[in-house]
Structure 1
Amino acid sequence: MEKEPEELLCEAAAAGDSARIQDLLAAGTDPSYFDSQGMTPLMHAARHGRADAVLRLLAAGAPWNALSPSGLSAGDLAMEHSHQDAFDALLNAAIQAELVLGTIARADRKNGDGDGGGSNYVEERVAFSEDKLMDSESKAVMMAWERPLMEAHARAICGSGGGGRVLNIGFGMGLVDEAIQRYKLLEHTIVEAHPEVYDRMLRLGWGEKGNVKIVFGRWQDVLPQLGSYDGRIYSLSI
């Protein structure tokens, strides 16, 4: 029985056959396909360390944050199997996605379109695992393998010295806030609108940290409670 093009794409991705990948993509093969194992072509490429295949699939729109049935993303698989080049390619894709989403969010706020925080997200149930935050559709909102990205955000905002005041809008898994805490700031304010995320913050002891101020609510609604800051991170789900 002849295999479907998407199955062939998964095989080519695992083998790192860049020419075959390019031909299949040019013919319209879906890079977001999940095979019988629940794996996408990008996951196969990442698992086997095929960095060039990873780049080609990402360029074709393969979802970098899709999850396998066992809850692993392409980034998790690359990291688990110590494929640094593939991991770096996926991390760069995550950085670019954050930049694009940040630009869109800023444009929406400037134009008065949308709520900038996703009222639907605030109303949805979320689920936490050891290394992921997932929405009500079991899509990954944040994953632990993105920690280097969060650390880069914190470094850019906080600089090399201590002191100062920083605002982060959106706690998520707390990755960026954990990184911010290493800089021994004078004040670290976190705005979080999701009730389940907020409750988890309190259970983890964030409300007991001496330099941390937690403000519950959508940032648009709590502006009167905010002050002036030396740095701001508009991370929402981070």
Structure 2
Amino acid sequence: MDKGEQLCEAARNGDGGKVKALIDSGAEVSYFDSDGLTPLMHAAKLGHANVVKILLEDGAPWNALSPSNLSAGDFAMDSGHQEAFEVLLNAGIQAELILGTIARTAKKNGDSTGDYLDDRVSFSEDKLMDSNSKAVMMAWEKPLMEAHAKAVCSGGGHILNIGFGMGLVDTAIQQYAPVTHTIVEAHPEVYKRMLQTGWGKKGNVKIIFGRWQDVLSELEHYDGIFFDTYGEYYEDLREFHQHLPKLLKPGGIYSFFNGLCGGNAFFHVVYCHLVSLELENLGYSTQLIPLPVKNCLGEDVWEGVRQKYWHLDTYYLPVCQPLQDSE
């Protein structure tokens, strides 16, 4: 048995001393066995929190994935091993704060927002698609958008939405009859369709065409703000959050489409905690409201879509407000 197999066996047995000795003798902490599992996954699956700590301290990748797209955190979470789960969660949060390896993409890799804005899009009754058959927005999100609208409109007044898409959240916002309803939309075809369908004629609606980064000077102060852009990354969301203190009134409510790492349950939990932590550092509390979505996501929903952008049974709707308002 080679050292990698020995390390996996020691991890399964919860033998921290042997795990450490094997690592010191050159065993590879990122080793995958014949089942596609790492020593960290084995330790997490069986709840050996002490071994999980040892492996992480010696550089075991917390975000490695098994053939079934599960990480060590998923194994701990699914098996109900709370201590091992929390160790992995903290490791993931710390790693993402420093490196941002999962949901952040370096700007040097190209401006995908620009790519999307130059792309042709197609509208149908239940989806908005780009030219590569990737879904920009889909009708299954309607109940989520209605919940977001209810949250950001809870105080009435002046509402801002970044990203029109299919108009699901804006249609819901209109039901609350805000004093003003400002919509920022950057895609020329979506903007054209907005005008064709009468959004520019609504008395309380102001449409601003352009990327939110380019039209900040045209924005005012709002009682409720919703953010849902396509073709951007976590870094763009973080950048928008830096502007919240100037955009959101005291007592206001902010929310955003929480599609962060929607393909993996544990990564999603990591990013829910990460964004909450970063918003707290900016002076905002974040409540994550669980909404079940499993029943509205049958396989037929994704027919004609190149890849699913959501794989989870629960959606966590963020409701953010200034910390002094929540105390």
Query: Normalization by structure 2: what TM-score?
Result: 0.40
CA separation in 1, counterparts of 2:85 and 2:149?
Answer: 25
Secondary structure (helix, strand or coil) at the match of 1:32 reads: coil
Give a deviation string over 1:26-50, Cα, whole Å, max 9, x none: 1221111110001011100000000
**Residue matched to 2:110:** 119
CA-CA distance at 1:74 after TM superposition? 0.8
Q: In 1, are the aligned partners of 2:162 and 2:212 still within 8 Å (CA)?
A: no
Structure 1 counterpart of 2:283: none
Decide whether aligned partners of structure 1 residues 185 and 212 sit closer, same or farther in structure 2, where only a CA change above 3 A counts.
Answer: farther
In the alignment, is residue 225 of structure 1 matched against residue 197 of structure 2?
A: no
- Indicate if the aligned counterparts of 1:32 and 1:62 stay in contact, CA closer than 8 A: yes
Amino acid at match of 1:79: M
- Displacement, 1:185? 3.6
Please state if 1:91 is matched with 2:119.
Answer: no
2:234 matched residue in structure 1: none
Q: Which has the higher strand share?
A: 2
- Alignment coverage as a number of residue pairs: 158
Identity %: 40
Aligned-partner SS, 2:40? helix
Structure 1: distance between partners of 2:167 and 2:34:
38
Q: CA RMSD in A?
A: 4.0
Paired amino acid for 1:115: K
Larger-Rg structure: 2
User: What does residue range 1-238 of structure 1 map to in structure 2 within 5 Å?
Assistant: 3-101=1-99, 115=107, 118-119=109-110, 181=148, 184-185=151-152, 202=165, 205=168, 208=171, 210=173, 222-226=212-216, 227=219, 228-230=243-245
In 1, are the aligned partners of 2:160 and 2:182 still within 8 Å (CA)? yes
> Which residue type is aligned with residue 82 of structure 1?
G
TM-aligned CA deviation for residue 24 of structure 1:
1.1
Structure-2 change in CA distance of 1:32 and 1:188 (3 Å) = farther
Partners of 2:75 and 2:93 in 1: CA distance: 18
The one-letter amino acid of 1:47's match is K
* Alpha-carbon distance between aligned partners in 2 of 1:204 and 1:28, rounded to the nearest angstrom: 56
Residue 119 of structure 1: how far off its partner (Å): 2.5
Question: How far has the Cα of 1:73 moved from its partner?
Answer: 1.1
- 1:168-211 Cα deviation digits (max 9, x unpaired): xxxxxx9xx99x959934657667xxxxxxxxx95795565538
CA distance in 1, matches of 2:95, 2:80: 23
**What is the distance in 1 between the residues matched to 2:167 and 2:56?**
35
1:202 to 1:41, Cα distance in 2 relative to 1, 3 A: farther
Any gaps of 5 or more consecutive residues in structure 1?
A: 103-113, 124-173, 192-200
Equivalent-residue separation in structure 2 for 1:204 and 1:64 (angstroms): 38
Number of the residue aligned with 2:275: none
Query: Would you say the 8 A contact 1:207–1:214 is kept in 2?
Result: no
Residue aligned with 1:184, SS: helix
TM-score (structure 1 length as normaliser)? 0.53
What's the CA shift for 1:56?
A: 1.0
Unaligned runs of 5+ in 2: 101-105, 116-140, 154-158, 174-180, 188-210, 220-242, 249-253, 262-270, 272-327
Q: State how far apart, in whole Å, the 1-side matches of 2:167 and 2:11 are.
A: 40
For residue 33 of structure 1, give the secondary structure of its aligned residue in structure 2: coil
Distance in 1 (CA, whole Å) between partners of 2:21 and 2:111 is 39
